[in-house]
Amino acid sequence: MATLLPPPKRQKLYNGVPEPEKALPEQSPNVIVQFVSEDDGSALAPAVSLPANVSREDLQSLVNTLTSKTDEPVPFQFHVALPADAVTNESTRIVVSKSIEADVLSHPSHAFSPEDILVVRCSPQSVFRVRPATRCSSSLSGHTSPILCASFSPTGNLLATGSGDTNARLWDLFTETPSHTLTGHRGWVLCVEWEALERKLATGGHDGHVRIWDPETGKPIGDALKGHTKWITSLSWEPIHINPSSPRLASSSKDGTVKVWAIATRRLEYTLGGHTASVNVVRWGGGGLNGKGVLYTASSDRTVRIWDANGGKILHILKDHAHWVTTLSLNTDFVLRTGPFDHTGKRPTSDEDAQSRALARYNALVSSTSELMITGSDDHTLFLWSLFPSRSDSSVPSETAASNGGKLKPLARLTGHQRQVAHVAFSPDGRWAASAAWDNSVRLWEGRTGKFVATLRGHIGAVYRLTWSADSRLLVSASKDTTLKIWDLKTYKIKTDLPGHTDEVYCVDFVADKIVSGGRDRVVKIWKN
């Protein structure tokens, strides 16, 4: 019996037309890539030829293989600088988030082709990663007036807020419930500041008083520190790596003075009285000529002054701004604020242990660059300053301050904002600086050179405050438009929009994977992943 063959398969038709043959996938071109360090521009390895569609993760593995001296892989961010004729007001670089082919060769500017030698700049990232918040986990009521300031403790276990109802409040972040109400001020509580070992909390009020509190009991430590004749604008503790056992406290005021208090004896050590108008910000830096600390003050008299923290001698007077100087940030702010506490969660066993840990963290940050400062003003500009030589730069004499007569040139003038600058903040690793302004925008700058990187647009109201995640990968902004926005530094776009407040948001802070915000609606909101 003959074997019957099955009938031929009927050809599938699409509207009477045979199916077109599937096109073969286009072969990805090869490109020549030169990996260079973002810090100093030095080549990390000889130029290599790679398929353009190699993923970012594979690029990271390749750079680790070429450069790593240890078995621990280091995460990197990669970007390619746009040529001058392709730079826009929105960005000056292309971040490689997927592959060179998808991000660089397909960029709308068409600035690069497979025939070019692509210089890919590599910057190391934190070995830990912070998860972006996506939801509001708690709305905490209790304040009866707008919330003006909020700050997480260095370990992230406690939260302090200050309000126009004359009270500061402590909140327990394990249970997200009220802990203590700190009553004593006779005016608005304008600023709250934690000691870096979390043993004390300082608050400054509209009544001109500075008060010190025990966060465990919520009780005041002695009476108010009185001496200012107008309200307190800013507080700053002496760094733990300089004085671990009894750090002093600096307070700035609308009365044009800065006072340094010895908290152990509750006495005024000295007053800095050189400014002729309101002192808006004070920061206690960890560097200086002898590593014993310096005080940075920004004032409405259009000057920024730098003082020796031991005795209050004036070191510099910076007169480059043309209007009130309203905000100031150091690239060491994060390590000074958190002292010995890092992402490992280990607690110091003694004051000496805390001092050595804090000093190690500080030295690690300033080993490659000095302690830098950015100042922002109502003249719509910012200035980047390097006033003291870095620890690694022995060629710069330590008498630089004296020989310059208190007048140094800024490293860079940062322009682009169309309205007053409201806030500036360095990222924890010091590689970035972000500025918020009344023109509804946030601008991103290179932290070591002051070069413009990108404009972050999305808010429809003035942006009041900024805060960074501990891994320097995320930036959070708080605005008059009632929203918080989390920005992703891979794309310079909004990663998460956090609506929920019913009025202007005045303050925001970020610790671990928690964000806190407060504002005119009198509600403290905690945001989580």
CATH number at residue 135: 2.130.10.10
CA neighbor of 90 nearest in space, from 455, 438, 408, 401: 455
pLDDT over 70 percentage in the chain: 94
36-71: pLDDT as tens digits: 988 778 888 888 898 988 898 899 888 888 877 666
Closest C-alpha to 223, from 212, 237, 236: 212
In a domain, 45, yes or no: yes
Determine the structural domain holding residue 59 and report its residue range.
30-124
Average pLDDT over residues 375-381: 94
Which of 124, 140, 156 is the last residue before a domain boundary? 124
> Does 161 lie in the same domain as 141?
yes
Indicate if 120 and 135 belong to the same structural domain.
no
pLDDT tens across 223-239, in order?
999 999 999 999 999 99
Query: Which of residues 77, 102, 124 is at a domain's end?
Result: 124
Q: Which helix (H) or strand (E) holds 493?
A: strand 493-498
* CATH at residue 48: 3.10.20.90
Helices vs strands, H then E, count in the chain: 5, 39
Same domain as 144, residue 202 = yes
83: confidence class by pLDDT, cuts 50, 70, 90: confident
pLDDT of residue 400: 46
340 Rama sector, left if φ>0, alpha if ψ -120 to 50, beta otherwise: alpha
Give yes or no: residues 57 and 102 share one domain.
Answer: yes
Task: For residues 157-162, give the mean pLDDT.
Answer: 93
pLDDT digits (tens, 9 = 90+) for 447-473: 999 999 999 999 999 999 999 999 999
Would the pLDDT of 397 be above 70? no
Check: CB of residue 218 under 8 Å from CB of residue 203.
no
pLDDT of residue 70: 62
Q: Sheet with 158-163: list strands edge to edge.
A: 147-152, 158-163, 168-172, 177-182
Flag whether pLDDT at 349 surpasses 50: yes
Residues 204, 144, single domain; the answer is yes
Given a cut of 80, is residue 109 above it in pLDDT? yes
pLDDT at 424 over 70: yes
Q: What is the distance between the alpha carbons of residues 372 and 175, in angstroms, rounded to a whole number?
A: 38
At 215, the pLDDT band (50, 70, 90 cuts) reads very high
Q: Are residues 120 and 137 in the same domain?
A: no
- Of the candidates 90, 89, 93, which has an alpha carbon nearest to the alpha carbon of residue 81? 93
Which band of pLDDT confidence, cut at 50, 70 and 90, is reported for residue 368?
confident
Same domain? 117 vs 137: no
pLDDT-based confidence at residue 15 (cuts at 50, 70, 90): confident
* Rounded-to-integer distance, Cα 505 and Cα 516, Å: 11
The Cα–Cα gap between 446 and 430 comes to 9
What's the CA gap between 295 and 310, in Å, rounded? 10
Going by the DSSP 8-state scheme, the letter that residue 378 receives in this structure is T
Beta partners for residue 37, in sequence order: 122
Q: Is residue 98 part of a domain?
A: yes
The pLDDT score that the predictor gives to residue 5 is 82
H or E segment to which residue 506 belongs: strand 505-511
Is the C-alpha dihedral spanning 191, 338, 334, 488 positive or negative? negative
With respect to residue 520, please indicate whether it lies within any of the assigned structural domains. yes
> CA angle at residue 275 from 270 to 277, to 5 degrees?
125
Q: Compute the distance between CA of residue 233 and CA of residue 19 in angstroms, rounded to an integer.
A: 73
- 102 within some domain: yes
Contact, 477 vs 487, CB < 8 A? Answer: yes
Whether the Cβ atoms of residue 494 and residue 463 lie closer than 8 Å to each other: no
Q: Is residue 172 in some structural domain? A: yes
Pair 115, 145 in one domain? no
When divided into structural domains, the chain yields a total of 2
In a domain, 287, yes or no: no
Give the pLDDT confidence score for residue 339 in this predicted structure.
Answer: 87
Mean pLDDT for all residues in the chain? 88
Which among 124, 148, 182 is the end of a domain? 124
Amino acid, single-letter form, for residue 10: R
pLDDT at 399: 44
Query: Burial, 22: exposed, middle or buried (Cβ in 10 Å; 0-12, 13-18, 19+)?
Result: exposed
* Cβ atoms 141, 147 nearer than 8 A: no
Instruction: Count the neighbouring beta carbons within 10 Å of the beta carbon of residue 164.
Output: 18
Q: Which residues pair with 319 in a beta bridge?
A: none
CB 461, CB 481: distance < 8 Å: yes
Q: What pLDDT does 306 receive? A: 92
Give the pLDDT band (50/70/90) at residue 274: confident
- Return the closest-CA partner of residue 147 out of 529, 407, 502, 413: 502
Would residue 12 count as lying in a domain? no
> Would you say residue 253 has pLDDT above 80?
yes
Q: How many CA atoms lie within 13 A of 210 on its CB side?
A: 31
Model confidence over 294-336: pLDDT tens digits? 999 999 999 999 999 988 899 989 999 999 999 999 999 999 9
Residue 180 contacts residue 214 (beta carbons within 8 Å): no
DSSP states of 342-376: -TT-PPPSSHHHHHHHHHHHHHHHHSSS--EEEEE
The pLDDT of residue 73 is above 70: yes
Q: Does residue 208 fall inside a structural domain? A: yes
Q: Is the pLDDT of residue 30 over 70?
A: yes
| Bigger pLDDT: 21 vs 75 | 75
- Got the DSSP string for 124-156? E--SS-PPPP-EEEEEE---SS-EEEEEE-TTS
Q: What is the pLDDT of residue 401?
A: 42
Q: Give Rg (Cα) of the chain.
A: 26
288 pLDDT exceeds 90? no
177-201: average pLDDT: 92
What is the per-residue pLDDT across 506-529, written as a single tens digit (0 to 9) for each? 999 998 888 999 999 999 999 998
Same domain, 113 and 138: no
Does 143 lie in the same domain as 73?
no
Answer yes or no: is pLDDT of 392 > 70.
no
Co-location of 94 and 138 in the same domain: no
The CA-to-CA distance between both ends of the chain, in Å, stands at 72
